[in-house]
Amino acid sequence: MTFLDKHQEGLTKAATVLTKLVEVAYDIGAVAMVVALVMVLVDPVTPMSLIWGEVAPYEEFNVHGFSLVVGNGDGTLNRPAFILVLIGGAILLSLMGWIFRNANLILRTTQGQTKFSKGKTPFQKDNVRMLREIGIFFISMTVVKFVLSVVAVALVGPEKAEVSAQLGDAIVGLLMLCLSQCFAAGMQMQQDVDGLV
């Protein structure tokens, strides 16, 4: 094994560990959003300051690109806006957790470390599927943000809802779908070459 091979293997191991850590962090964030949502819905008389703390007038809460003003002008918490942010946050953070889960599985599958791995090659059926899923998850995030923005305008009014057309996640999703097609073509070529041998 050459120095370059050892260096590449070390980078792959580091990326595998890092993707798992980020996945767990996003999952913890999503669970925290769900717990806070349950607390708000189960006991509506609980002071919101127990969950959120002190609220500044017109304070804004942002979760992965979806933001909403959750503070009223008098320093109280706008309950419907806060509930909508918690729902959106749980969905968006869960999608990001799934993205990093798939990234971790792609790295491990490429190294032959999963039960469905077909050797040490990136051109595998499951890698193509997981790349497509990552693209779909990114596109789904754009759709979720759009739907949440429409609901926010209807629920809390346009003055408190930040509605913007950010297509960054959708563009990344489309690029991932294109990349999955490249991997599908690579997988087909590898199968053709293996058939000739």
Nearest-angstrom CA–CA distance, 78 and 95: 26
CA neighbor of 187 nearest in space, from 126, 125, 141, 132: 125
Instruction: Return the pLDDT at 89.
Output: 92
Give the tens place of pLDDT for each residue, 49-73: 555 556 666 667 778 888 777 777 7
Give the tens place of pLDDT for each residue, 105-137: 988 888 877 777 677 777 788 888 999 999 999
Give the tens place of pLDDT for each residue, 136-177: 999 999 999 989 888 888 888 777 676 666 788 889 999 998
Give the tens place of pLDDT for each residue, 12-39: 888 989 999 999 999 999 999 999 888 8
